[in-house]
Structure 1
Amino acid sequence: MFSCVERRLAPAIAGRGAQGADVPTRFGLATREVDGDWRDYMEMLGNLEGGPPIKLKTEVTEERPKTILSFNQSPDIGFDRSINAYRGCEHGCVYCFARPTHAYHDLSPGLDFETKLFAKPNAAEILRATLAKPKYRPKPIAMGTNTDPYQPIENRYRITRSVLEVCLDARHPVTITTKSDRVVADLDLLEEMARLRLVAVAISVTTLDPRLSGKLEPRAASPAKRLAALQKLVDAGVPSHCSVAPVIPAITDEFMEETVQRAAALGVDSCGWIPLRLPHEVAPLFREWLSVHYPERGDKVMSIVRSIRDGKDNDPNFFSRMKPTGVWADLFRARFRLACKRAGLGKAKFELDCTKFRPPAVGGQMRLL
């Protein structure tokens, strides 16, 4: 593994967040005969005879799970259940904390995570059956907690929309987090759900610089499109939140105040920030990204990251993993608090209504009421 100040001989991989093949594994799995990262990387560079580079293609595998709701007891997040319509994410955000989940399937958290995706076409069907169970008790379902529900393949599969249709029918509350302006394609559903106090939407704006965004999150919507989507949500009466996340020291923190100001001018209900997290394989992937795009600044970035994580690349512990400490963390916290105060924004308080819940009809039955 090279340091952040060493320049790589290979060029940056255009349109992808992960930048190379050397991704460590936690599980000691046997090396595949044809390693996905190595194969994709060599295709990108061209064959050994000097052939032209080949664009990395996205592959989608359909799977049909038996359950769709994931429950958790984490004290660090404000929901106890979530739905992920997809595994892997084509947005390719290099900092994505969900990347390590691909390693469970003998796939790389690097390029495999953003090129070898899984879709769950039967998600709505399973959700309907789950909500219809006599013992089910409603609480807000979080979408976008692991991978983005509005990543590019949603245009084709429309799984997120089908899930929202079930939730609207059942009057079940939902929260959505995304980096995509595709969310406004479902504005007809979101507007009706907002009228019933069943939905709140958060759009993450990492930076206001489109060139930097193209390096950090190459296939996500541009910052301008995300802000425009926030405006459309606000105009439609959908409770909206701008998430300045993640804040990357010495890379994106310079945009913190202006992002809050821009979001407040749109009329969002609130803003929040989340510090960079680098669990498991994400840390070496991020270091490699720094060596490609910011070799002169990489060591400084990682030094600050470690300073807010008690000298480590990441803090995985409950109660502290979302709460960085130290001088730099205090500085970011104070800057964000002051920015929100100047913009007239407070903390997010989305009170969704669970009292309207009605078990959905299943098996072709029609509602009596």
Structure 2
Amino acid sequence: MSLFILLIYFLIYLNGYNLVQFNLLSDELIQYVNNYPSAGWKASKQNRFKSISDVYNTLGHYGIRRFKQGILPIVSHEDKNIELPDYFDSREQWKDCPSINIIHDQSKCDSGWAVASAVSISDRTCIQTNGTIKVQLSAIELISCTKNKLGCQIGYSEFAWDYWLKNGLVTGDSTGCLPYPFPKCDHRSSNSYPKCGYITYTAPPCEKTCRSGYPIPYMADKHYGKTIYRLRPNESDIRKEIIMNGPVEAGIFVHSDFFNYKSGVYKHIIGRLVTIHSVRIIGWGIENDIPYWLCANSWNEDWGLNGYFKILRGSNECEIESFVNAGKVDDKPRSD
């Protein structure tokens, strides 16, 4: 193969596997995806994003974050003999754990890493205590108190899991110790939520006391992890982890076309890499002979499949299987 042909292949790779490029959120991009013969999914205008500035106000201005290596040990489930069904949905498996069903909205704060981690930990707290502890743990505590110190600008999910292990998390629902302070919003007047406006939120300082009127002391409200780990990048291992211990938090490389996802099994068709985001994987299935992961996003219910999306499973689409974090709950009270 000539050097010239190799160069052409390299340029195609750099341009998102297609030399044709469209602006983020554009009608042309949506039309291209919907006319693509083997796309497997449909794109549309989404209430959650109206302009490119909306995207960056939600996902940060610090560029593409990197994953922190060496914080979480790598775990393999290769030796575990577990029968894996073709379809699995945590919402159906653990109906007594309400946090699994909640779709959050990170609002105009780059906090997907914190929201996905906090909700995955909340799910696992309920599941691993057989439904005796039903909580929504605080994402804002992670945003304000973890090591990265950049609040709503950028964060690292590895630090979130490490914080839960070492410091614990308090409750974070609307009636909890440290509720999420930023409201759900939309940009296209769907009337579901107020308009987002043009403010990029700033994370509050790290608080060591609960909100006024909350009846439980801050330290007494803490919930801790016993072990934390990253799954090796293996489809079967991830499925085994979910079926044994509950939803996981996963990193995903977000390209331009993902923002307009509406239905079907997503795979990257066109557009450049915009950011790295975090989501929950809550199950899997097969649609039109295409295997998929069932994921919960944090862009409210107006986006995608009522806040959820399906993404190609088994081929590490958008690195969805590369950075999967999980942990086990410490259900024994701590004196600290």
TM-score (norm 1): 0.24
Report which of the two structures shows the higher radius of gyration computed on alpha carbons: 1
More relative contact order, 1 or 2 (CA 8 Å, 6+ apart): 2
TM-score (norm 2): 0.26
